[in-house]
Structure 1
Amino acid sequence: MARVTLDLPDKFTFITRMAVRVSDINYGNHLGNDRMVSLLHEARLRYLRKYDFGEFNVGGVGIMVTDIAVSFLQQSFVGDDLTFQVGITDFNKYGCDFIYMVTNESQDRVIATAKTGIVFYDYDERKITPVPPVFYERCAPDQVLAMEE
């Protein structure tokens, strides 16, 4: 089976750091794949908070994850300080992709790359909704220009 490959953005617009905790370790004595997904979720939430959003309030609507892909390149262990670089790409009418590069800076190595596809979702109406203009304005102003052209 072919390995997952992800196209990384030209630039990442957000960086956050998190330490690998003992509760993140699996029976193989390294960072578990399920815990990596949780760490990516936390990185996405921190990204949204940077722009004064939350998962249930981005211009009056929420977000919903539609897909996820993680490519593990190296192991990570208890006490490792990981850097999560986050960018957004591949906009469509209803959403975009969050792209991540996770590195262990002290060892100068990439631990994983990942993406989560999201759509904007009106939880009251229970339906997807177009990307809110305020999301473009705060998070991807270059996309606003591209959308207007």
Structure 2
Amino acid sequence: MSRVKIIFPDRSADFETALSVRVTDINYGNHLANDKLVALLHESRVLMLSAWAYTEFDIEGAALIQSDLMVRYRNEAFLGDLLHFELFLTNFTSRSFDLLYRISTLREGNMVLIAEAKVALVCFDYNTRTTTTVPEIFAQKYRNL
């Protein structure tokens, strides 16, 4: 069976944050549920945008809409784990870009890779319900971090 492969750029993350695994994030297997990981990806993205004075509805006048998601699970995460999120903006096109995530936690003095993910984000105009171009100011700032 073919596995998801996410290729990270050879550079430092464009943004980093940490989020804790809460009791409401745990499933019947006693580890982080897959749907909760997706929610944590979203939260880390919102934190990144907020740190840069943006929102998902206003990136230099354009909104963002998610067009796809890939996740590669590597290890379990458990209640109380502090997850470290590294985010990378890549693959800019005229209307979209990818956001890559590397999620890890410190366990017994070692960093343990929990998951890798890729989200494709498309610039969107909610008034016309159509895609729009990536604002040039945003692209110039973040295309070559």
Contact 2:92 2:139 survives alignment (8 Å): no
Paired residue for 2:98?
97
Question: In structure 2, how many angstroms separate the alpha carbons of the residues matched to 1:92 and 1:103?
Answer: 29
8 Å CA contact 1:99–1:116 kept in 2: the answer is yes
TM-score (norm 1): 0.91
Query: How many percent identity over aligned positions?
Result: 37
Moved more, 64-73 or 125-134: 125-134
Q: Give the counterpart letter for 1:95 in structure 2.
A: S
> Could you give the per-residue CA deviations for residues 20-56 of structure 1, whole angstroms, max 9, x where no partner exists?
0000001111000000000000111111111110000
On the 8 A contact 1:6/1:113 being kept in 2, the answer is yes
CA distance in 2, matches of 1:137, 1:47: 17
Please report the RMSD computed on the Cα atoms of aligned residues, expressed in angstroms.
Answer: 1.2
| Contact 2:62–2:134 (Cα < 8 Å) also in 1 | no
Look up the SS of the partner of 2:36 in the other structure.
Answer: helix
Match of 2:7 in 1: 7
How much does 1:98 deviate?
0.2
Amino acid at match of 1:108: M
Counterpart residue number, 1:48: 49
Correspondence for 1:147: none
Distance, in Å, in 2 between the alignment partners of 1:137 and 1:49 is 18
For residues 6 and 67 of structure 1, what CA distance do their matches in structure 2 show? 13
User: 2-side partners of 1:51 and 1:81: how far apart?
Assistant: 23
Q: Is the 8 A contact 1:84 1:102 kept in 2?
A: yes
Kindly report structure 1 stretches of 4+ aligned residues shifted beyond 3 Å.
none
Aligned to 1:128: 131
Unaligned runs of 5+ in 2: none
TM-score by length of 2: 0.93
Taking the aligned partners of 2:141 and 2:79, their CA distance within structure 1 comes to 35
